[in-house]
Amino acid sequence: MNQNSIDLKQLLYLIREQKDTEINLNLDEGCVLETEDPKPLVKVLNYLINYLAQLNNQSIEISLDLLPEHYRLSLLAYTVAKSLPEISSQLNEALQPYRASLKTDHHSGSYIQLTMLFEK
C-alpha cells in the first residue's frame, strides 16, 4: 500500500479556504503524517470545525504545535453554551490510522477546546 505524506499546516490552510467560517491559524512547520488515505482525516477536521462553528458566532482559533513526542492540533471556540451537542463517537475510530486521539475541554458558558494529539 502506498504511503502519502500529509503536511498538516498545508491541509489546514486548504480547509480554511473552503470554509465559510472565520478561522484564525497559528501553525508550526514540520508536522507531517505518513498515511495511506488522508480523506478520513479531512472529514474529521471538517466535522470538528463545523461542530465548533455551530456553537459560536466568532472566529475559531486553530493552533498546530510541533512537540518532541507528538503534534498537537488545538481548535478553540468561545461559546456561551452551557451544554453541548454530543460529539460523534466514531471520531476516535477514524483517528486510529493516524495514531491520533481527541480530547474535549468545555468550560461552560466560556469556551470549548478540542485537542488532537498525533503520535510521531
DSSP letters, 42-54, are HHHHHHHHHHHHT
CB-CB contact of 81 with 110 (8 Å):
no
Quote the CA–CA distance of 59 and 34 in Å, as a whole number: 30
3-state secondary structure of 22: coil
CATH number of this structure's domain 4-119, picked from the four choices 3.40.50.300, 3.40.630.10, 2.40.50.140, 3.30.565.10: 3.30.565.10
Quick: pLDDT tens for 55-98. 988 999 999 999 999 999 999 999 998 889 999 989 999 999 99
CA dihedral 4, 115, 93, 11 (to 10 degrees): -30
- Whether residue 117 has pLDDT greater than 70: yes
- Residue 63, burial from CB neighbour count under 10 angstroms (0-12, 13-18, 19+): middle
Q: List the Cα angle 99/102/103 in 5-degree steps.
A: 140
Confidence of residue 2 (pLDDT cuts 50, 70, 90): low
* pTM greater than 0.85: yes
Quick: pLDDT tens for 28-49. 999 999 999 999 999 999 999 9
- Whether residue 113 has pLDDT greater than 90: yes
* Domain range summary for the chain, segments of one domain joined by +: 4-119
Mean pLDDT to the nearest integer, 18-35: 94
